[in-house]
Amino acid sequence: MASAPGGDPVLAACKDKLKHFRLKELKDVLYKIGLSKHGKKQELVDKIVAILSDQQDQASKIDGLPNRLMVGKETVVKIVEDTFRKMREPANAVSASGNQNELGYSVMPMKNPDDSAQLDIKVRCPCGNSMATGSMIQCDHPRCSVWQHIDCVIIPEKTADTAPQELPSSFYCEMCRVSRADPFWVTINHPLLPVSVAPSNIMADGSYTVQYIEKTFPLSRANREMLQKAEYDIQVWCILLDDKVPFRMHWPLHSDMQINGIPVRVVSRQATQPLGANGRDDGLMLTQFLKEGPNKIVLSRSDSRAFCLGVRIAKRRSLEEVLNLVPKEQDGEKFDDALSRVRRCVGGGTEADNADSDSDIEVVADSVSVNLRCPMTGSRIKVAGRFKPCVHMGCFDLEAFVELNQRSRKV
Ligand SMILES: [Zn+2]
Ligand SMILES: [Zn+2]
Ligand SMILES: [Zn+2]
The H or E element that residue 47 is part of is helix 41-52
Q: What is the pLDDT of residue 116?
A: 40
Contacts of 260 (CB under 8 A, 6+ apart): 289, 290, 291, 295, 296, 297
Q: Collapsing DSSP states into helix, strand and coil, what is residue 237?
A: strand
> In angstroms, what is the span from residue 390 Cα to ligand 3's centroid?
4
> In angstroms, what is the span from residue 176 Cα to ligand 2's centroid?
4
Q: Collapsing DSSP states into helix, strand and coil, what is residue 314?
A: strand
> In angstroms, what is the span from residue 387 Cα to ligand 3's centroid?
6
> In angstroms, what is the span from residue 336 Cα to ligand 3's centroid?
20
Q: What is the pLDDT of residue 164?
A: 62
The pLDDT profile of the chain, 411 residues, written as one tens digit per residue, is 444 444 788 888 888 888 888 888 888 888 888 777 788 888 888 888 888 887 655 545 554 455 456 677 888 888 888 888 887 765 443 333 333 333 333 344 444 444 444 456 789 999 999 888 888 999 998 889 999 999 999 887 765 555 666 677 889 999 999 998 888 899 999 999 999 999 988 888 888 889 999 999 999 999 999 999 999 999 999 999 988 888 899 999 999 999 999 999 998 888 778 888 778 888 999 999 999 999 999 999 999 999 999 999 999 988 888 887 777 766 666 777 777 777 766 654 444 444 444 544 444 455 666 677 766 666 777 777 776 656 566 677 777 777 766 666 544
Q: Where are the domains of the chain?
A: 5-153, 184-317, 322-407
Quick one: which ligand is closest to 388's CA? 3
> In angstroms, what is the span from residue 112 Cα to ligand 2's centroid?
25
The H or E element that residue 174 is part of is helix 174-179
For domain 184-317, give the fold: Jelly Rolls (2.60.120)
Q: What is the pLDDT of residue 113?
A: 43
Helix/strand/coil percent split, the chain, to 5? 30, 20, 50
